[in-house]
Structure 1
Amino acid sequence: MRVIVQKFGGTSVATSEGREKCRRRVMESIERGYRPVVVVSAMGRKGQPYATDTLIDLAGGIVGERELDLLMSCGEIISAVVFCRVLREKGYPCVALTGGQAGIITDSSYTNARILKIVPDRLNKELADGKIVVVAGFQGMTAEGEITTLGRGGSDTTATALAAALKAELAEIYTDVDGVMTADPRVVPEAQVLTRLSYQEIMEMAHLGAKVIHPRAVEIAMEGQVPLAVKGLDGQGNGTLIGNYHTVTADRVVTGITHLKGLAQFILRFNDEDLNLVVFQRLGNAQISIDLIQVNPGLIAFTVLESAAEKARNVLGDLPMEVEVRSGFAKVSAVGGGMRGVPGVMARVVAALNRVGVKIHQTADSHTNISCLVEESDAEKAVRALHDEFNARAK
């Protein structure tokens, strides 16, 4: 049995026109000889009745996390039932399942649960019976039967986890762009679709700000060796194929440019070197994710999301140190396996940003990316400058 998993986002299934386009994509997969499992997100965006952010606002921040997960799971369930109806109207046998009914077992970390295992018995039975299975994304169930949600990007994670459990030939992620681009096309209009990427490259890009797929979904696909395709719902091409590809070429040092806004920079100054460990232990215990970490004698610098800045300040507030917090930053990154071992890449990054008057406040690098902290107002200018410098292009 050749299985394909197809994931459609909230804007794709929000309108009757969009749902019809999704239906055609499912029909195309059947014509290609696949048995489709469809994963859907909640319909629409914030302000629309069943969107996840709308449901969160409805709760008003008063209910507990368990009850919040119950509420947030409703959007995807509604979406699954509605899309199942669309398929049935065209005469296709179909069944809608919640995440729990699909066998997704998670831990009990409400609002940000992690998938522990998938028991695919129900899915295999429905597929063997000739049905199209439509699964509500973004959710699962604990071993005790409590409903959980998987956090941001949870429907992507649902799709790749199901694909791995079902040993699917392919998982397709449909978006509002034609694939993974060399940069955000809203910032760089001439950005192009990357036809092939390795798991490592797309994971770097996703972690560093590319929003077409969630990094945890890529990790699961890589662990399960599931080929991915990121496609535009309206596109005619193959989109971006992701797998164990060797994408490094001699003339391409950088694959793409990403950016992430909404960051705050912390600069800590102190005299007691023992505080190094205390700082990182406190931030870790408080579940605060930090980035662009710099450690020097008597000084630590790092970034957090602005939404976590106040919490981080409170966690460190009683320590004997000077805590400086500055908001309004963005991280701009050049990503590519081709920079490994190539001298002068950082020099080109700095020169490109200097030419357009962008001040670099902090940097970090690895074998496959260089990231610069810049003022948020300079982020788009920085992206365009780096895209031009490295002639980022599809292959």
Structure 2
Amino acid sequence: MRILVQKFGGTSLATEEMRLKAVEHVEAAIAEGYRVVVVVSAMGRRGDPYATDTLLSLVSHSDALAKRELDLLMSCGELISGVVFAGMLRKRGRETSVLTGEQAGIVTSDDFSNAQIQTIRTARILQEMEKGRIVVVTGFQGATADGETTTLGRGGSDTTATALGVALDAEYVDIFTDVEGIMTADPRIVDEARQLKRVTYTEICNLAYLGAKVIHPRAVEIAMQKNIPIRVRSTASQDAGTLVTSATDVMEGSRLTDRVLTGVTQTANVTQIRISRTPDSPFDLPLRVFDAMANNEISVDFINVTPNEILYTVTDMEAEKAIRLLKQSDIAAEIRPGCAKIAAVGAGIHGVPGVLAKIVEALTEQEIEILQTADSHTTIWCLVRGEDMVAAVRALHQKFALHK
């Protein structure tokens, strides 16, 4: 049985016109010989009647509501979406079966509002497909072993789709969205940004973690475990989109790509925190700093610890709280708010000399000061002032000729 999982996000289901285009994608897959499992998000975005954020606004006045009850509320949007979508398929003569996360066999932890999938029992889905039905699964949700409804947190519908793809040994997982695929940069910043035809799992994870919002990295990591290819596609188009797969499969024609960079992305509204160290500083100063952040649930990033200083970043929103905690521990710090993190991502970076020199050259030519750098096998990060973010992204995109 050739199985294809197709996930449609909120913007893909927001209007009758877009839902019809989604239905056409399902029918096209059936015509190609696939048995289709559809994963749906809640319809629309904040302000639309059945969007998750709109449902949450109904109880925004209640701070006392437990996460268990919030999950019950948040699971409603996908159920409405699934029933509406199934109705459209039935109107066109297609047999369907709508399954909640629990009915689809998605068993999760009991971390309400941010549950982790523990296993998927696929028997019910397979039974429905054997009957010739299109299975429509409500994304973003599952249930604990004892039947408590849970939601999967940010990117939950993407996670549902790839987890089902892995459990069902799907040929592909298609993530339909409102863009043509993964771009070399944010097209709102770089006019010359182009669509990538193929990227690796690692590259798309880094792009997603660092600002690209097309697919959630947790979903990619799940697909990577079993090497299930993902296609990021536009609901409004028949274009094949961007194929996400393993490094050995990322080929153009008959040869492996020799590109150094795949794309450039950015994260705005970042505060840099600098703590100077002297010979008189306590030996456990780094521990005190990062314990204070961890114990108060402040996420830290871009960390450099040397004998002379401790450098790290937090979001601008968390900066005031972070500084207050440091002061309470008698730790003096300098802060630089309003920064931006620029990431140059590419599987071809590893082992190639001169990549950082070329990045520094591009930024220097634009008189952009580099405040901090870090690197991994696939990514080089630069921290710059917020007002330099757009120019920095454009400069790197141009320097590495990503428009070609």
TM-score with structure 1 setting the length: 0.94
Check the 8 A contact 2:18/2:236 in 1, yes or no.
Answer: no
Offset of 1:173 from its aligned partner?
A: 0.5
Question: Could you say what secondary structure the match of 1:38 adopts?
Answer: strand
Offset of 1:99 from its aligned partner?
A: 1.2
Aligned to 1:6: 6
Q: Does 1:289 align with 2:286?
A: no
What is the identity, as a one-letter code, of the residue corresponding to 1:273? F
Question: Could you say what secondary structure the match of 1:294 adopts?
Answer: strand
Offset of 1:308 from its aligned partner?
A: 3.5
Aligned to 1:364: 374
Question: Could you say what secondary structure the match of 1:322 adopts?
Answer: coil
Check the 8 A contact 1:68/1:111 in 2, yes or no.
Answer: yes
Output the CA distance in 2 between the equivalents of 1:291 and 1:372.
12
Offset of 1:285 from its aligned partner?
A: 4.0
Output the CA distance in 2 between the equivalents of 1:219 and 1:251.
24
Pick the aligned partner of 2:263 from 236, 256, 266. Answer: 256
Output the CA distance in 2 between the equivalents of 1:50 and 1:309.
34
Aligned to 2:67: 65
Offset of 1:218 from its aligned partner?
A: 0.5
Superimposed CA distance per residue, residues 67-110 of structure 1 (whole angstroms, 9 cap, x where no aligned partner): 11111111111111111111111111111121111111111212
What is the identity, as a one-letter code, of the residue corresponding to 2:187? P
Pick the aligned partner of 1:341 from 351, 354, 359. Answer: 351
Output the CA distance in 1 between the equivalents of 2:400 and 2:101.
43
Q: Does 1:197 align with 2:204?
A: no
Which blocks of at least 5 consecutive residues in structure 2 are unaligned? none
Superimposed CA distance per residue, residues 290-344 of structure 1 (whole angstroms, 9 cap, x where no aligned partner): 2110112252211123343344445544212113444322211111111111222
Output the CA distance in 2 between the equivalents of 1:296 and 1:338.
29
Offset of 1:386 from its aligned partner?
A: 0.5
- 61-70 vs 72-81, which deviates more? 61-70
Superimposed CA distance per residue, residues 126-173 of structure 1 (whole angstroms, 9 cap, x where no aligned partner): 111111111111111112222111111111111000110111111001
TM-score with structure 2 setting the length: 0.92
- 373-382 vs 102-111, which deviates more? 373-382
Aligned to 1:177: 179
Output the CA distance in 2 between the equivalents of 1:6 and 1:187.
30
Offset of 1:191 from its aligned partner?
A: 1.1
Question: Could you say what secondary structure the match of 2:76 adopts?
Answer: helix
Question: Could you say what secondary structure the match of 1:332 adopts?
Answer: strand
Aligned to 2:397: 387
Question: Could you say what secondary structure the match of 2:11 adopts?
Answer: coil
Check the 8 A contact 1:272/1:298 in 2, yes or no.
Answer: no
Check the 8 A contact 1:268/1:323 in 2, yes or no.
Answer: yes
Question: Could you say what secondary structure the match of 1:367 adopts?
Answer: coil
Output the CA distance in 2 between the equivalents of 1:324 and 1:119.
52
Output the CA distance in 1 between the equivalents of 2:297 and 2:107.
23
Distance 1:237 1:58, change over 3 A: same
Question: Could you say what secondary structure the match of 2:81 adopts?
Answer: helix
Distance 1:77 1:317, change over 3 A: farther
Offset of 1:178 from its aligned partner?
A: 1.0
Distance 1:338 1:67, change over 3 A: same
What is the identity, as a one-letter code, of the residue corresponding to 2:390? E
Output the CA distance in 2 between the equivalents of 1:290 and 1:365.
16
Distance 1:190 1:339, change over 3 A: same
Pick the aligned partner of 2:221 from 219, 222, 225. Answer: 219
What is the identity, as a one-letter code, of the residue corresponding to 2:393? V
Offset of 1:250 from its aligned partner?
A: 7.4
Superimposed CA distance per residue, residues 198-225 of structure 1 (whole angstroms, 9 cap, x where no aligned partner): 2122122112221111100010000022
Superimposed CA distance per residue, residues 224-280 of structure 1 (whole angstroms, 9 cap, x where no aligned partner): 221111111123321111112334967521111111223222223452121212322
- 381-390 vs 342-351, which deviates more? 342-351
Equivalent runs, 1:1-395 vs 2, <5 Å: 1-60=1-60, 62=63, 63-246=65-248, 247=250, 252-269=259-276, 271-393=281-403
Check the 8 A contact 2:326/2:332 in 1, yes or no.
Answer: no
Cα RMSD, aligned residues only: 1.9
Identity over aligned pairs, percent: 53
What is the identity, as a one-letter code, of the residue corresponding to 2:391? K
Output the CA distance in 2 between the equivalents of 1:126 and 1:137.
17
What is the identity, as a one-letter code, of the residue corresponding to 1:358? I
What is the identity, as a one-letter code, of the residue corresponding to 2:271? A
